[in-house]
């Protein structure tokens, strides 16, 4: 099956499942509280088949992406009869529980999925646990211009004391063109500096140009048919030098290849305690996940920590990861509103499809489940934003009405929902255009 078809199928299954879980939350709580549910649909559009049980039409519809629940009298513009089965006839705390049930199901699903994944396969870059010590500084980057040097330790970053790389990376990524206050420790002395990460790549995330220090640069993956494999380099080899120059980080080797280009290089490695040298001829090749090409030899050196966690530890780690992810989503939204970060950071259906397709083709099922958990968390948090039409908007209006001790007039609600609908349509168009622009390089120059 082609990569495109796999991506389409994967995104349809993942997004469809996420939306169904979300709507089932609304459905279950509505039924529990006595609200009449008129339709529970798998898919959208024309009804294809189904059955009726009680007041509810359970159906499969023509467009198999997600689903929806229609409750009696849930639309403020509908005529109200006072029937106790109508949504708006129920007390506000009932309506609050129904509204929050959908996002809650997505968040709980994210926690559950990630717990299961971690019980089977818990993997992450080993360097994330390490203190933020600089292993390499790329030339002409914000870090280089600020005078950051190899061996410097980040003692404080934007108020975070003694951060690990797990704390540094998101701060850097979410601060494009925004100053970050940094305290550097070097040879027992401290230096206060200001780093302004540059907006980098199609997603315009912040990039400072520093690279973590790792205990060793060890080959963890070899691309089949690439020069390094053909020359005899093996997984597990520790790269010592390239053309007699020490390699403290794989980025140092990348910089060397940018300079030497197609010229053959000598790579010296340590294997089983012995040093071996190989003559390697770089080739101009694609970079996985990027548009441009560069001279490469086909080596990866990302060292991972891999384990399987017991249930309690997996659940605790899942809750911790989802909490951190939720805070990062909210920080991203805040910075987008403040126009401190580009709309390009948002992935739309094309980006999600690409990620789902890549996860689906990886070995094992855990990558796709982990991605599903991340999408579920994003869907849950997004729906809690105080935007009318979304669940968070319903909750906000309920809160306002509780303070006022009366319902907002239907005319005002109608205007609010109309404005929110226009906003969401424009937002969707912008996200899809942004997706297309990132997919089609010729459109990139049109993006702000």
* Residues labelled as active-site residues: 23
What 3-state DSSP class applies to 84?
coil
Task: Kindly provide the b/e burial profile for residues 373-395, where b requires at least 16 CB atoms within 10 angstroms of the residue's own CB.
Answer: bbbbbbbbbbbbeebbebbbbbb
DSSP string, 241-269: EETTEE-SSHHHHHHHHHHHTTS-EEEEE
Among positive and negative, which fits the CA dihedral 204, 205, 206, 208? negative
Q: How far apart are CA 74 and CA 70, in angstroms?
A: 8
Output 78-87 pairs: Cβ under 8 A, ≥24 positions apart.
83/36, 84/34, 85/34, 85/35, 85/36, 85/55, 86/35, 86/36, 87/30, 87/35
The per-residue b/e assignment along 421-442, b for 16 or more CB within 10 angstroms, e otherwise, is eeeeeeeeeebeebbebbeeee
263 Cβ contact list (under 8 Å, min separation 6): 282
* Residue 425 token pair: 């349509």
Q: Which residues contact 6 (CB under 8 A, 6 or more apart)?
A: 357, 360, 361
Q: Which two tokens stand for residue 447?
A: 């993006």
d(CA 301, CA 318): 27
Alpha carbon 3 to its chain centroid, in Å, reads 21
């Amino acid at each position: 099956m082609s990569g495109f078809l796999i991506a389409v199928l994967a995104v349809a299954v993942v997004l469809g499942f996420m939306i169904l879980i979300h709507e089932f939350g609304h459905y279950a709580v509505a039924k529990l509280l006595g609200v009449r549910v008129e339709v529970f649909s798998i898919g959208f559009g024309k009804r294809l088949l189904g059955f009726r049980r009680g007041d509810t039409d359970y159906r499969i519809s023509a467009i198999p992406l997600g689903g929806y629940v229609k409750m009696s009298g849930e639309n403020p513009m509908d005529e109200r009869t006072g029937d106790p089965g109508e949504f708006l006839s129920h007390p506000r705390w009932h309506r609050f529980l129904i509204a929050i049930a959908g996002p809650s199901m997505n968040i709980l699903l994210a926690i559950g999925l990630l717990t299961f994944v971690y019980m089977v396969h818990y993997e992450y870059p080993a360097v994330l646990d390490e203190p933020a010590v600089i292993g390499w500084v790329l030339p002409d980057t914000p870090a280089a211009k600020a005078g950051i040097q190899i061996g410097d330790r980040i003692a404080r970053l934007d108020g975070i004391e003694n951060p690990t790389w797990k704390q540094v990376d998101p701060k850097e990524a979410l601060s494009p063109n925004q100053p970050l206050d940094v305290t550097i420790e070097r040879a027992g002395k401290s230096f206060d500096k200001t780093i302004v990460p540059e907006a980098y790549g199609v997603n315009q995330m912040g990039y400072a140009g520093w690279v973590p220090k790792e205990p060793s640069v060890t080959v963890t993956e070899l691309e089949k048919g690439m020069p390094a494999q053909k020359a005899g380099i093996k997984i597990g080899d520790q790269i010592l030098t390239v053309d007699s120059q020490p390699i403290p980080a794989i980025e140092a080797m990348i910089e060397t290849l940018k300079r030497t280009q197609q010229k053959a290089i000598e790579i010296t490695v340590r294997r089983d305690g012995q040093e071996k040298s190989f003559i390697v001829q770089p080739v101009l090749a694609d970079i996985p996940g990027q548009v441009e090409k560069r001279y490469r030899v086909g080596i990866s050196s990302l060292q991972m920590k891999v384990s399987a966690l017991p249930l309690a530890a997996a659940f605790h780690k899942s809750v911790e990861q989802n909490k951190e992810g939720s805070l990062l989503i909210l920080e991203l939204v805040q910075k987008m509103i403040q126009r401190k970060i580009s709309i390009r950071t948002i992935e739309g259906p094309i980006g999600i499809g690409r990620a789902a397709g890549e996860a689906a083709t990886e070995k094992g099922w855990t990558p796709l489940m982990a991605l599903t958990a991340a999408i579920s968390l994003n869907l849950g948090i997004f729906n809690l934003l105080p935007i009318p039409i979304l669940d968070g908007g319903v909750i906000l209006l309920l809160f306002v009405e509780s303070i006022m001790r009366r319902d907002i007039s239907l005319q005002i609600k109608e205007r609010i929902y109309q404005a929110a609908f226009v906003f969401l349509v424009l937002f969707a168009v912008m996200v899809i255009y942004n997706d297309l622009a990132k997919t089609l390089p010729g459109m990139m120059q049109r993006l702000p």
